[in-house]
């Protein structure tokens, strides 16, 4: 799939608002998916050019707010885009699905990027931890888990 530049998307949006042609015709002319173009127009109407050139920062809180609002309001992608200024429909779908199944805690564990695929490689040097270092590592992991859980509960309470 070809990646379309922000400038091309901006040009397509401008043509639409100038009334040059229909949404579908403009999307076809610029090689845009018609649904993605509808979502982009909805976001642009509410948030202006920031949608393209300064999109919202995707944080855990943003994901939770977007997914919970979308599910609560049974919102379409265009409605979500208009409210939040975010146009990634694939991510929206995934976040809603995770939120439906696992609640806000499910969205806390999402990490950006792909998982490393090196099942056959073994670590070069396996360092033996002393009992004290091992215990310290376990406690640090538990503190981190509790902090994340605490933040999730605070977010849930604020919603």
Q: Which letter does DSSP use for residue 74 in this model?
A: T
- What pLDDT score does 65 carry? 93
Mean pLDDT (the chain, rounded): 85
Q: Alpha-carbon distance 148 to 135, whole Å?
A: 20
Could you read off the pLDDT of 133-149 as tens digits, one per residue? 888 888 988 998 888 88
Neighbours of 32 (CB within 10 A): 20
Tokens of 76: 């379409």
Res. 118 pLDDT band, cuts 50 70 90: low
Could you read off the pLDDT of 25-73 as tens digits, one per residue? 999 999 998 888 999 999 999 999 888 888 889 898 999 999 999 999 9
- Please say whether the beta carbons of 95 and 67 come within 8 A: yes
3-state helix, strand, coil in the chain (%, to 5): 65, 0, 35
């Amino acid at each position: 799939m070809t990646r379309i530049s922000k400038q091309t998307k901006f040009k397509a949006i401008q043509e639409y608002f100038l009334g040059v042609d229909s949404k579908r015709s403009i999307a076809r002319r610029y090689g845009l998916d018609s649904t993605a173009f509808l979502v982009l127009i909805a976001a642009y109407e509410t948030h202006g050019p920031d949608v393209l050139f300064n999109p919202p920062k995707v944080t855990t809180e943003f994901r939770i707010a977007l997914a919970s609002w979308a599910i609560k309001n049974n919102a379409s992608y265009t409605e979500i885009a208009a409210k939040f200024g975010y146009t990634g429909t694939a991510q929206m779908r995934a976040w809603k699905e995770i939120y439906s199944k696992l609640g806000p805690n499910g969205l806390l564990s999402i990490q950006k990027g792909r998982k490393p695929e090196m099942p056959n490689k073994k670590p070069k040097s396996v360092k033996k931890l002393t009992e004290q270092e091992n215990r310290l590592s376990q406690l640090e992991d538990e503190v981190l888990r509790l902090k994340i859980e605490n933040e999730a509960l605070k977010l849930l309470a604020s919603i």
